[in-house]
């Protein structure tokens, strides 16, 4: 049957949101089309009324997930120390233990590097926006700032990836703790 336009749009958004969560948890190839559609309350057959292919869904889901990270950076940019304001909640146990709700740079960067242009372009664009947001509106020493921003982001992404990979709770905690110290953040 034909459905009201707004309900269809709402379902479309829900598919993207569920995919963004599941792909961050299990990787692009770790969650199936049928699984995503089921999580969105639909059957898999309807998928191709919403997306041209699974790759198109992956691109939309990645964009959605990174949008969330850019939003956090925008809010952090209003603080006195934007980088610290962004980094502090990033290096938390909550973020480590809930990849499905967290930053897609950490959970999907390696996956992205193995995918095609449609996905990698999304990543590059959103990463550029993230760096720009964290540099603040007007700075003079742009070069130095970009190095601080990119260096700090690298530390965040690497520390979180390592903390999640390690199969030893104490070591995982220590990685967060030492990365926080390294960046000059308060201990957890």
Partner DNA sequence: TGTACATCAGTGAACGCGCGTTCACTGATGTAC
Shortest Cβ 122–DNA spacing (Å): 17
- Interface residues toward a copy of itself, by CB under 8 A: 25-27, 29-30, 99, 105-114, 117, 120-121, 123-124, 127-128, 146-148, 150-159, 161-162, 164-168, 171, 174-175, 178-179, 181-183
Residue 34 binding result from a copy of itself, DNA, none, given CB thresholds of 5 to 8 Å by partner type:
DNA
**Among 17, 39, 54, 72, contact with DNA (rule: CB under 7 A):** 54
Q: For the CA atoms of the chain, what is the radius of gyration?
A: 18
HEC string of 60-127 equals HHHHHHHHHHHHHHHHHCCCCCHHHHHHHHHCCHHHHHCHHHCCHHHHHHHHHHCCCHHHHHHHHHHH
Closest among 111, 118, 105 to 150, alpha carbons compared: 105
Residue closer to DNA by CB (options 42, 87) is 42
- Exactly one of 17, 25, 55, 101 binds DNA (CB under 7 A); that residue is 55
Distance of alpha carbon 179 from alpha carbon 75, whole angstroms: 22
User: What are 47's two structure tokens?
Assistant: 């998928």
Among 8, 92, 145, 155, binds DNA (CB under 7 A): 8
* Binding site residues, DNA, CB under 7 A: 1-5, 7-8, 11-12, 29, 31-35, 37, 42-50, 53-55
């Amino acid at each position: 049957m034909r459905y009201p336009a707004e309900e269809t749009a709402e379902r479309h958004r829900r598919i993207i949101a569920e995919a963004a969560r599941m792909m961050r948890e299990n990787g692009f190839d770790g969650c199936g089309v049928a699984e995503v559609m089921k999580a969105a309350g639909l059957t898999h057959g309807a998928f191709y009324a919403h997306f041209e292919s699974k790759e198109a869904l992956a691109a939309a889901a990645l964009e959605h997930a990174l949008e969330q990270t850019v939003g956090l950076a925008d809010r952090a940019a209003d603080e006195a120390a934007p980088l610290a304001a962004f980094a502090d909640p990033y290096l938390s146990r909550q973020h480590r233990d809930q990849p499905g709700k967290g930053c897609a740079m950490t959970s999907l960067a390696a996956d992205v590097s193995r995918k095609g242009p449609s996905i990698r372009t999304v990543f590059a664009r959103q990463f550029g926006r993230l760096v720009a947001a964290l540099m603040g509106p007007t700075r003079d020493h742009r070069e130095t700032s970009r190095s601080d921003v990119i260096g700090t982001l690298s530390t965040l992404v690497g520390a979180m990836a390592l903390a999640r990979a390690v199969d030893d709770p104490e070591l995982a905690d220590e990685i967060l703790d030492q990365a926080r110290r390294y960046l000059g953040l308060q201990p957890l």
